[in-house]
Structure 1
């Protein structure tokens, strides 16, 4: 198993993995996933931000992508904000998730980020929160969404 920086050649598989991930989220209740939008997002993250994939036996089985952005209340400080972090169900339990989480720290630092903010959705597996805590993350925010 190899964790490596994603390339533009990976975008079609990233879109495919996203199509497997998306229905498991509450976002799927709001609107359908648009493959062109996901491809554009992945391309932007690969070219401008931080995106890594996990490859096992020539097949991508996981991904993590973060956007580097100025902090809302101080534009002179940068945060890395998770856009996607997912491991295929048949590859879970093999430390891929923790390896993906660990590998992005240095590239985020190199991009000028001082902090990483990860997302934990209501339907995220409970082991994700435990992994965050184990890796030194602290709970920082809960968001609420309303249709208008």
Structure 2
């Protein structure tokens, strides 16, 4: 019998995505972000979170989705990727669910315009709800991780 995993659900536009809870450090409200020159466009800069400098990425920009105005619902999800803390800007993060690993299918080549390499799979929830599971280590490739590590200082 497959195990259940806890997943944080967040939104980018109309699509729902999931990250396993054990990879998430904290979820923060939007806060001032210090721009850093000469970085990828989707790297918005760094934040100082309780004395720790954390690079912040706009997931919309990372996935080639048009950027949107930040609202009261906008959140920064702080995750641990390859031994490094990174913040992901998302439209909203407001749900934690239990998901059976058996309900996660291999992703098609493209989901919502996002290439499959960024995805761990697509989970079916109920009759008509799909949850796109992110592959965090692919969301940041090695070159980007090196650039982000230099931002952490």
Tell me the TM-score normalized by structure 2: 0.30
Select the structure with the greater relative contact order (CA < 8 A; seq sep ≥ 6). 2
| More strand as a share of residues | 2
